[in-house]
Amino acid sequence: MLYQNSAAPGDVKKFQVMIDGKDVSDSVTMADVYMDIFNPTWTAQIFFDDTANLLMSLPIKTGSKITITVETALGMEGDGEKEYRMTVYRIGDKRLISHMQQQYTVFAAHEDLIKSQKTRVRRSFNNKKPDQIVQQLISEELGGAVDAPKPADNNLSLIIPNWTPFNAVSWLCKVATYKNAADYCFFMADEGKYSFKSFEEMFSSEDEKEDLTFYQKPAGVRDAGDFPDDFTVQVLRYNWEHFDGAAAQSAGLYSSTTVSFDLIGKKWEKKAFTFGEDTPADAEGKNFEDVMGGEDANISFTPKHAEMFQSPSVVDYTDQWIGSRKSSIQKMDMEKLVVQVPGAAKSWEWLGKNVQVDLPSQTDMEDEKLDKQRKGRYVIVAMCQHIGKDSYVTNVEMVKKRLEKEN
């Protein structure tokens, strides 16, 4: 769809920063808002060029409430207004430019992170699914809601031993399985709203598809007319972050062995895991040679305490999820594409969604042909909203869980 608009991509209609109810926008040069499927809440860095001595006169202090508001109006998908409400947790070192001017960075996070840090959970759960436990914890301890569309395979009985809510949820991400894969992630989806989802589901489920195509037309080739003209997804620049195969090998991507000892039965057990064992489709679309595998590349030891609870417990089957979790974490970092696109106020909605990526072939530039293997669906795993008074771009990290089959 073509848009008749004189505004340049990424133009900002409104950019406002408030601290404890006072507008400090004139002293702010830039604000970066970070969101990640591996972090429970959004965080931010606000860059100040201060000639009003706000640190003392306002003052800006740890615990101050900060609000970042951005609005775009380019006449395309992603337009609108977004308000990020956070709490200051750190003030960076000051750089004195003159006796009337200083520069510094203010670090902030969503208030739920602060609330979680001062809340301790001491309770038991009996024969419940991990997603149900997560929903109950976030609702009762932090007052939030959790979207968990697919129930986990396993039921758990456990005692949370004085952990913070977010620490407990992080641990539940490790032990929860969906279709045999221990690949759950927990992240903030919006103000007071969270997601607890399997990475495989984020990658392959129709429910997680966002109707967006990220593309870049190669310079110097004719326009075939097949590319959309939507500035919110036109790639300004991109780069591939290739993973370290040796580091991934030692971390358990390709294969691993879990050695367990049953404290009751006094028995040793050994369980081997190989890549794709939990998700066969991954084995078909792998991007490495089998020589990288080997059971002894990664070995871990874990105790088991069979039938500690009357109903199934995590300690009954630790060796069933450890190998899958190690491999899953590495899969989320394998085929990583980092793109920069013009900013749009509602682009925060893309986090955790799978989107289409069409990039030009590196070998055939004649007719805007696409890279056959690396085209297709990617999951957006992290974003940085880089917002200034006159410019706004979004850096997007995407992961392709497996390569496309060449036609």
- 310-355: pLDDT as tens digits: 555 565 667 778 888 888 888 888 778 999 988 888 899 999 999 9
Q: Which two tokens stand for residue 395?
A: 């850096």
pLDDT given at position 156: 87
Average pLDDT value for the chain:
85
pLDDT digits (tens, 9 = 90+) for 225-276: 444 454 457 888 888 887 787 888 888 888 889 898 887 778 888 888 888 8
Q: How confident is the model at residue 406 (pLDDT cuts 50, 70, 90)?
A: low
Amino acid code (one letter) for 155 = N
CA atoms within 13 A on the CB side of 33: 31
56 exposed, middle or buried (CB, 10 Å; 0-12, 13-18, 19+)? exposed
- Which residues are CB-neighbours of 299 under 8 A, at least 6 positions away? 256, 257, 258, 259
Q: How confident is the model at residue 83 (pLDDT cuts 50, 70, 90)?
A: very high
pLDDT digits (tens, 9 = 90+) for 84-138: 999 999 999 999 999 889 999 999 999 999 999 999 999 999 889 999 999 999 9
Chain centre to alpha carbon of residue 4:
34
* DSSP H helical ranges for 277-406: 280-284, 318-331
d(CA 369, CA 381): 27
**Average pLDDT of the residues in 32-56:** 95
pLDDT at 184 over 50: yes
pLDDT at 4 over 60: no
Return the minimum-mean-pLDDT range out of 205-219, 371-385, 391-405: 205-219
**Average pLDDT of the residues in 351-371:** 73
Amino acid code (one letter) for 256 = S
pLDDT digits (tens, 9 = 90+) for 139-156: 999 999 999 998 998 888
pLDDT given at position 185: 96
Q: Is the dihedral of CA 309, 311, 317, 318 positive or negative?
A: negative
Rounded alpha-carbon distances, angstroms, from residue 352 to 199, 216, 306, 332, 397: 9, 22, 36, 12, 11
pLDDT digits (tens, 9 = 90+) for 17-33: 999 999 999 999 999 99
Rounded alpha-carbon distances, angstroms, from residue 129 to 125, 132, 145, 158, 200: 9, 5, 16, 11, 18
d(CA 36, CA 264): 41
Q: Which two tokens stand for residue 385?
A: 């909203």
- Higher confidence at residue 132 or residue 292? 132
Give the three-class secondary structure for 144: coil
pLDDT given at position 3: 31
Q: Taking the CB of residue 1, how many other CB atoms lie within 10 A of it?
A: 7
